[in-house]
Amino acid sequence: MTSANAQERVETIEVAEREAGMRLDRWFRTHFPEVTQSYLQKLLRSGQVRVDARRAEANLRLEVGSKIRVPKAVRTPREGSAGAKTAALPKSNEADRKLIESMILFEDDDVLVLNKPFGIAVQGGTGTKRHIDGMLAGMVDRFGDRPRLVHRLDRDTTGVLLVAKHRQAAAKLGRIFQTRSAAKTYWALVRGVPKPPQGKIEAALVKASGPEGDRIRKARPGEQKEAMHATTHYSVVDRVAHKASWVSLKPVTGRQHQLRAHMELIGHPIVGDNKYDGGLDLVAENIEPKLHLHARRLIIPHPGGKAKIDVSAPLPAHMLATWDLLGLDPRRFEKDDG
């Protein structure tokens, strides 16, 4: 809640429920990202920023309903200051905003569920400047806080991506994922037909460096200390003779490249996966040489105690084209996702 008008020298902002427990300096970074830490310290020392009419330290933990006194100068930083330079930068460009809006499958006050497209990184890294995390960070004005990623998808994996809209929701959802209370279903096209048609893959995984970069593989004797336990359930939904299968994959754990490494391990790599031997012999002509792995559905308890979140994402264009080419019907499991 804000009480202010253009003539007032200060405004008073009330701490929202989702901001309870947040440090004062973190609250400022969220609401006024152009204000530097040193400038905030100056405002606090001079008493220009107060909490419930009292002087405060930057590390003060806020309570619901507390009233923060904010001087008007905060919204118009001094010319030439670091804050002024930051404020002059666009928060995000129009193309990125439109892209994020087009991805939204579900939204409420606590969570955002996106349908991640092919080829866009979820987070930044070496040589990666454009990514979903950065786009969301530039839309604080749209979401009221900086949205926080709860889990990850590989750059070329498509589908359901869960995002927390504030810190408290992120903490609760993080605990839900840790306790494996989230049910995730992926759809993939793999080479060959797994036998038996339903099964469980349990193989500890390790990261190994190679000429084409890091790769996840099965742990070898003596590598138990660094190995990560990983379990995946799979089920064949449909098949194309003996050439390929549409499979439903349900990971119990959430290791890096787990599904891709596990399917290669049982001899049925995911089509279009160059890193895990699925990029060659694409089972049919005219199939796009893209990774055919899609985060189809997520069912997870709501962090606010509401009804469970249950969201499904439609197949991306390249997988839809492949399904059509091979005579597979994605509508077959619209209600029961395999």
Helix H or strand E encompassing 173: helix 167-178
Which contacts qualify for 123-129: CB closer than 8 Å, 24 or more apart?
A: 123/149, 123/152
**Burial, 165: exposed, middle or buried (Cβ in 10 Å; 0-12, 13-18, 19+)?**
buried
> In angstroms, rounded to a whole number, what is the distance separating the alpha carbons of residues 296 and 111?
18
Name the E strands within 165-304. Answer: 183-191, 198-202, 205-208, 215-218, 231-240, 244-251, 293-300
| Residue with tokens 């892209």, as numbered in its chain | 99
H or E element, residue 261: helix 258-265
Active site residue 154: yes
Please tell me the distance from the alpha carbon of residue 180 to that of residue 300, in angstroms, as a whole number: 10
Rounded CA separation 2/177 (Å) = 35
Token output for 67: 């009233």
Candidate list 96, 110, 145, 154, residue with the active-site label: 154
Q: What angle do CA 201, 202, 204 make, to 5 degrees?
A: 135
166 within 8 A of 110, measured Cβ to Cβ:
yes
> Which residues have a catalytic role annotated?
154
